Structure 1
Amino acid sequence: MPSHYNLGLVVVSLIVATLASFTAIDLADRLSLLTYARARHIWLAAGALVMGIGIWSMHFIGMLSFSLSIPIGYDFAITCYSLVIAVLISGFALHVVTQERLKLSHLLVGGVLMGFGIAGMHYMGMAAMLMNPAISYEPGIFIASIVIAIAASTAALWVAHTLRHGDQHHVMRKRVAAACVMGAAIAGMHYTGMAAANFPVGSVCGAANGVKPEWLAVAVIPFTFAILLVTLLLSRLDARAEFLANSVARLNEQIDRLRGPIP
């Protein structure tokens, strides 16, 4: 069946993937500095939600860039399930990368699980179209998409763990470069998976009366950019506030030492 892509939305999906990757690296830094369990749990839950929304949004913006010669839509329930998967794997990823030590075995197992999670989210999103007859996939390209997802996830976990401390030399440049690579890898997995899909001539989208692509575009794109940017801002402000509080505490300690014991 004839299909085509909207180049503008493809570019937007790549930008979202890159921004989500940068947010993940920044949140890993924030979480690694937290010592209070309550604050850590709050930031971990918030980070999983935001990062999951970012990854899921990249996927669906990529889906929105794809058009067939027939009306298409998405089943609401299955679409929500794919978002839940994205949030869960994001929480798992943040938990892994914020550990003090990341063993090779943990990195590999985490990369495989996260890769399968991202691939599962993607193919569940494809299933939300409820195509009849069902979408078939080229086995070689299908396997390649999963391999890319696992490789990208493993690299992302290692990079996020390595760059989680902000006191490194040129750390911001490294984070931006890493986010660009990670974003390209995530997008690469998505479009490889799309390339594996075959839509037989005469196929009908069973979800054509469900969630419309136009509604998703209007709702998802601005919301995703807003929540990712707000999260980055709050993370920076919270880190700055904690830095100032620690500086004041250290200054008070020095003043107390200079004064000496009170007679």
Structure 2
Amino acid sequence: MKALRCPVVELRQYTLHSGQRDVLLDLFDREFVESQEAVGATVLGQFRDLDDPDRFVWLRGFEDMTRRAEALESFYGGLVWKAHREVANATMIDSDDVLLLRPASAHGGFPVPEGARPAPGEPASSPPSLVLATIWYGHGVFDAPFVEFFEQRVRPVLAETGCEPLAYLQSEHAPNTFPALPVRTGEEAFVWFARFTGERSVDDHQNRLQHSERWREEVLPTLSQRWARAPQHLRLAPTERSVLR
């Protein structure tokens, strides 16, 4: 699997007004994908949160922080956003829950998608799937030894239980180069993503992990010492136009 560009990634979680998620998703998939990529952003994925009907989650990537500033300035100052921002903003209660991330290692970035994204209104060529995003919040920096621990100790156990991480990223602490869009600061996050065929396969993985002796004895003790609070799990259903699906 090819390694992806996007050394900078935003994980964006929006809280929406009740019943407005499909309004925003339809608008987003129709108007906000190609228009962002035309100015230098990469729309990695857009999702329905299966556990919260009023949450929209999406991922956006950039070549670096300077290019991020240029791309966001061009998009939010451009004609497409100006034409549709009132409708988009009317769906939202909060759009400031944003983690700024970078690949945790040379192998941690998202893979290059295979196949073209379907045009608006066209069905996806690939079957539907479910993306599980797991967010670990740390007491301190997830340093190189921790990344090595993840790659050499955590990933094999995840694979044994039916889960192969697609990408794994950690907090990017570079100054926010586009202050008009806030990001969360003062946190250490390690986020990994995996793709499943559906809810049943996620449940099967989590059940097998819970009963894994290696997980309980070799992995979890080290992990639990690093966690500042309970992990967050996002079960995400990709839209038809999400490249992660």
Q: Which structure shows the higher helix fraction?
A: 1
Structure with greater strand percent: 2
TM-score by length of structure 2 reads 0.28
Q: Please, what TM-score do these two structures have when normalized by structure 1?
A: 0.27
